[in-house]
Amino acid sequence: MSITAGSYTLGPESGRLLVHTTRTGLGAKAGHDLTIEVTRWRGDAMVDTVNAANSSVSVEIDAESFEVREGTGGVKPLTDSDREEIGKTLRTKILHTDRYSTITFRSTRVDGTAESFHAEGDLTIVGVTRPVTVQGVLTDGRVQGSAVIVQSRWGIRPYSAFFGALKVSDEVELRFDLGLAPRQ
């Protein structure tokens, strides 16, 4: 199935944005690999099927809207209390949402085809803007893809506990799975 040229509105009603973390360190067995969903976000995509360079995408994320959905691995299962504590730590110690309420991505270059593309752009997290590349494909009428984000490039110190024996890996992966709804 191919995509048609035009403007599209993006948001939670069209699909999901998920952040995946992994753990490292001597105490990694005690922690969990996390799947965190962004629940409040919006974006716009302009798709030119003839010349990908004329395509663009922008996304704005509410930094308060990260919710822990799943934790795999670990010595014991992730509890609701653990999810709440992780969410609080993410907001207060990692993303500093009291000062930086939004995370934004704005494409600067799009290459490829609708079926297989990459978008380079500027990602702003905690007030720091750095380039990032998003890879994507069109599969069964849905746009799916990912980007790897190295937290330290944005000045974010990855979470650690137990005097550094348990750490979240510096690299986290953002994945998306979206249906494109034409802008009304």
Give the model's pLDDT for residue 43: 94
Contact status, residue 69 vs residue 54, Cβ threshold 8 Å: no
pLDDT tens-digit readout, 43-59: 999 988 888 899 999 99
Rounded to two decimals, the pTM is 0.91
Contact status, residue 159 vs residue 132, Cβ threshold 8 Å: no
Lowest-confidence segment of 25-39, 88-102, 135-149 by average pLDDT: 25-39
Instruction: At 172, list the tokens.
Output: 């986290």
Which amino acid does the sequence have at 141? G
The mean predicted confidence, pLDDT, of the chain is: 90
Give the model's pLDDT for residue 73: 86
Q: Any idea where the domains of the chain sit in the sequence?
A: 6-177
Mean pLDDT of 100-118: 93
Torsion angles phi and psi, residue 66, rounded to 5: -85, 125
Give the model's pLDDT for residue 27: 60
The DSSP annotation for the chain comes to: -PPPSEEEEESTTTEEEEEEE-EESTTGGGS-EEEEEE-SEEEEEEE-SS-GGG-EEEEEEETT-EEEEEEESSSSPPPHHHHHHHHHHIIIIIS-TTT--EEEEEEEEEEE-SSEEEEEEEEEETTEEEEEEEEEEEETTEEEEEEEEEGGGGT----EEGGGTEEE-SEEEEEEEEEPEEP-
Give the model's pLDDT for residue 99: 98
pLDDT surpassing 80 at residue 26: no
Torsion angles phi and psi, residue 41, rounded to 5: -160, 160
Mean pLDDT of 163-177: 84
Q: Would you state the CATH architecture of domain 6-177?
A: Beta Barrel (2.40)
Q: How confident is the model at residue 172 (pLDDT cuts 50, 70, 90)?
A: very high
